[in-house]
């Protein structure tokens, strides 16, 4: 392993996670990209692909997460960053969402993030100074109608991140919840198709005048896990183009 700094990025098989893995690799980090599946050509055109190491793991299975970090601990002495980008969206209000969709959303978006943080903490603490950045959502701060499971799961990620920052700051571990607004990921593209909306219609209420891109979030993550953010912890950072509701 040639890179001196290491990171784990979850949900790295696509969308924001894939962009974050690419950006951190470009920053010179060796990135362990965790996801349950990857495209055959993942990062094939990335000039820094030699610094990205895909690791197949079910991020909704705490036993699989524990095993992945046990294996990781055999190859690295410490970890400099953890970026949790994993997430799913299931629609419905309290009366219409299925039991399965509720449980799956909480299992992956909240419980999986918790177990990933817990298993990473011993390695992060060994780095002396390190960072966790957890993708929550603007909907975790201001709920959207008809998305009760997603809203609740992402609000929990905000609180989880604040709790971790309080409990582990003295070990040199910084923790931030990142709350994106509308970012053009495969999840959002599906929402557009399902609702017969165009990207221009989605962008209409956004003050900055456009829908965000995964690379926008990746640039923010680069800062949050980098050497210039060592006094940033315990808060939420919104990246919404000015859209607050």
Q: How many CA atoms lie within 13 A of 194 on its CB side?
A: 9
Helix (H, G, I), strand (E, B) or coil at 195: coil
Q: Is 81 helix (H, G, I), strand (E, B) or coil?
A: strand
Dump the DSSP string for 36-67: S---TTTTTT-TTGGGEEEEE--TT-HHHHHH
User: Which residues does the annotation mark as catalytic?
Assistant: 150
Residue 53's CB is within 10 A of a number of other CB atoms, namely: 18
d(CA 114, CA 111): 5
Cα–Cα distance measured from residue 191 to residue 169, given in angstroms and rounded to the nearest whole number: 38
Q: Which residues contact 104 (CB under 8 A, 6 or more apart)?
A: 60, 88, 90
**Residues 147/59/76/78 CA torsion (nearest 10 deg):** 30
């Amino acid at each position: 392993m040639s890179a001196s700094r290491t990171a784990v990025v979850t949900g790295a098989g696509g969308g924001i996670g894939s962009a974050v893995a690419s950006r951190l690799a470009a920053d010179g980090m060796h990135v362990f990209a965790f996801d349950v599946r990857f495209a055959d050509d993942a990062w094939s055109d990335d000039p820094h692909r030699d610094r990205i190491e895909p690791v197949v793991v079910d991020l909704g299975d705490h036993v699989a997460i524990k095993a992945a970090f046990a294996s990781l601990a055999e190859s690295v002495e410490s970890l400099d960053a953890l970026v949790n980008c994993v997430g799913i969206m299931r629609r419905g209000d309290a009366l219409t969402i299925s039991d399965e969709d509720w449980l799956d959303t909480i299992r992956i978006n909240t419980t999986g993030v918790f177990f990933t943080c817990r298993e990473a903490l011993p390695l992060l603490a060994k780095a002396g100074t390190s960072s966790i950045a957890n993708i929550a959502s603007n909907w975790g701060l201001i709920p959207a109608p008809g998305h009760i499971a997603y809203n609740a799961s992402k609000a929990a990620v905000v609180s989880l991140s604040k709790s971790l920052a309080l409990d582990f700051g003295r070990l040199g571990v910084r923790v931030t919840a990142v709350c994106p607004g509308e970012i053009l990921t495969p999840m959002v593209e599906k929402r557009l198709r399902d609702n017969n909306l165009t990207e221009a219609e989605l962008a209409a209420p956004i003050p900055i005048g456009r829908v965000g891109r995964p690379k926008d979030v990746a640039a923010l993550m680069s800062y949050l896990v980098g050497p210039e953010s060592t006094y940033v912890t315990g808060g939420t950072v919104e990246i919404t183009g000015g859209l607050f509701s």
